[in-house]
Chains A and B, each alone.
Chain A
Amino acid sequence: GDSVTQMEGPVTLSEEAFLTINCTYTATGYPSLFWYVQYPGEGLQLLLKATKADDKGSNKGFEATYRKETTSFHLEKGSVQVSDSAVYFCALQAGTALIFGKGTTLSVSS
C-alpha cells in the first residue's frame, strides 16, 4: 500500500544552519505531496505542497521538489530560526485521505 518514510529525528541545529529533512514515498499512480508542521500543543498546519512531478512547493523559506524518479520530496531551508522548532510531517494523497510519515522533530538553538 501507499506509504511515506521520513528521516528519524530529532534534528538539532544552530540558528542560521541549513536544514534538510528527507522524505521518500511509495504510491501507485501520481500522488500529491505535502509537508505539514506541528508546533507544540497545536494541530497540523500545511507548510507547502506539490501536485505533480518537478513541481516545487515553497513557503516561509522552506522548499521541497517533487522528484518522481527518486520518489522523494525532501524539505530544505537555507537558514533556520529558533521559531522553526516543531515537528515536520511529510504526507501523500493518492486517494482521498492523507497518509503521513511518522514526523521529524526539529530543535533550533540560538
Chain B
Amino acid sequence: DAGVIQSPRHEVTEMGQEVTLRCKPISGHDYLFWYRQTMMRGLELLIYFNNNVPIDDSGMPEDRFSAKMPNASFSTLKIQPSEPRDSAVYFCASSPIKARTEAFFGQGTRLTVV
C-alpha cells in the first residue's frame, strides 16, 4: 500500500480564495483524521470520520472550514474564504480500528495564504 496520500503538497493562495485539500486514506482503514500543525499550537485535531461519517468536528476552528468524506477512499478539507492565519501544515491520517491503534499519517499539505 502506498500509505496515506495527500494533495497538493504545497498550496499558496490569496486571502479570500477557496482552498481544497485532498486525502486518500489507506485502503481498509475505518477512521480518517484531519490535523493542523502550527508553531504556536502544535498538532490540533480538526475532525475525524468513522466509516465516512463525521464523528467529532469540535476542532474545526470556524464555519469557514468544512470537511467531507464521500466514500471510503477520499476526503476533502475546504477553507472558504481563506485567511492568512489559516497558513499551516495540514495532515491527514487514517487508522484501521479504534482501540489502541496507531494512526498513519500522510506527508501533509503546506498551506500559505498571502
A interface residues (Cβ-Cβ under 8 A, vs B): 32, 34, 36, 41-46, 49, 51, 89, 93, 96-103
Across the A-B interface, how many residue pairs have beta carbons closer than 8 Å? 48
B107 A43 Cβ-Cβ under 8 A: yes
Q: Which residues of A contact B93 (CB under 8 A)?
A: 43-44, 98
Q: Which residues of B contact A100 (CB under 8 A)?
A: 42-43
A93 B100 Cβ-Cβ under 8 A: yes
B106 A43 Cβ-Cβ under 8 A: yes
Shortest CB-to-CB span from B90 to chain A, Å, is 11
- Tell me the bound Cα distance from A89 to B50 in angstroms: 24
Q: Which residues of B contact A102 (CB under 8 A)?
A: 42-43
Q: Looking across the interface, which residue of chain B has its beta carbon closest to that of A41?
A: B107
- Tell me the bound Cα distance from A42 to B108 in angstroms: 7
